[in-house]
Amino acid sequence: MRRVLWAASILAACLFLTAAGIGAQDPVPAVAAGAVLLEDLVAANRILADQGIVDGYGHVSVRSDRNPNRYFISRSLAPELVTADDLMELDLDSNPIDARGRNSYQERFIHGEIYKARPDVMAVVHMHAPAVIPFASSSVVLKPMFHMSAFIAEGVPVFDIREAAGITDMLVSNSTLGAALARALGSRPAALMRGHGAVIVGPSLPITVGRSVYLKTNAEMQAQAIMLGGTIKYLDPEEARKAGTPDGYQRAWTLWRRKALGR
């Protein structure tokens, strides 16, 4: 009798754990980076999808915490589907260290060339959020609407691939184009890409993801403010400098990460 009860209890526990998605997390593979960093990168992929920053396209990378000349990024896959097993290590020329037959994103050079040019950058997001692209292709300039997007006051240049390379397929698919984009970005936190999207950088994954979210929010708010037809008071550059990144987006990151990883 007792054995039946024990067996039933174990089955019930298994059922519950399965239903709750506990145990469904992907094990972090044994690669040359801290486990938390890679788990954060998986979370970042899913957060960007949850927040509508990326759809089937777009990507996010993080610089290795063990070797500044390496970065991690998913194999060519929609960010929403990324698990730890999909992560690849690349050098700064964007060559995979151990591809194991997996394909890389065609535009991985965006990441490698920015890491080369910007030692301060630890994470890079590339995305096509619909709210942002109108500003990438308009003469109207993106400006900071509120303290959460104060970083926009540093300037968000527009990279026009045509100025760098004439008529192209619009993709940043080699080192030369990646380096041109990195030059357009300069020392700024983000750049728009005409007819394409945007690239956002930062000193950590939480800050880079947070900037991506609030770049989009700011674009939506600015479009609405313009539509009202009155005069608009953007954040003063000095206010923006003081505001900085309010809390490194840590309060939001805690929320987003928990939801993205289901715990």
Residue 14 burial (CB < 10 Å; 0-12/13-18/19+)? exposed
Does residue 251 touch its own copies according to CB under 8 A? yes
Query: Is the Cβ of residue 66 or residue 258 nearer to its own copies in the bound state?
Result: 258
For 31, list phi and psi in degrees, rounded to 5.
Answer: -115, 180
Residues 52-91 vs its own copies: string with x where CB under 8 A?
A: ---xxx------------------xxx-xx----------
Query: Is the Cβ of residue 3 or residue 100 nearer to its own copies in the bound state?
Result: 3
The residue behind tokens 């692209």 is: 133
Element (H, E) at 70: strand 70-74
| Beta strands 190-193 and 158-159, pairing class | parallel
Q: Which of residues 111-150 bind its own copies (CB under 8 A)?
A: 128, 130-131, 133-135, 137-140, 144-148, 150
| Known active-site residue 154 | no
| Residue 12, C-beta contacts closer than 8 angstroms, at least 6 positions apart | none
Q: Is 94 in contact with 116 (CB distance < 8 Å)?
A: no
Query: Is the Cβ of residue 9 or residue 187 nearer to its own copies in the bound state?
Result: 9
Closest approach of its own copies to the CB of residue 249, in Å: 7
Does residue 109 touch its own copies according to CB under 8 A? no
Closest approach of its own copies to the CB of residue 219, in Å: 9
Q: Which of residues 166-225 bind its own copies (CB under 8 A)?
A: 167-171, 194-197, 217, 220-225
Query: Is the Cβ of residue 151 or residue 253 nearer to its own copies in the bound state?
Result: 253
Residue 6 burial (CB < 10 Å; 0-12/13-18/19+)? exposed
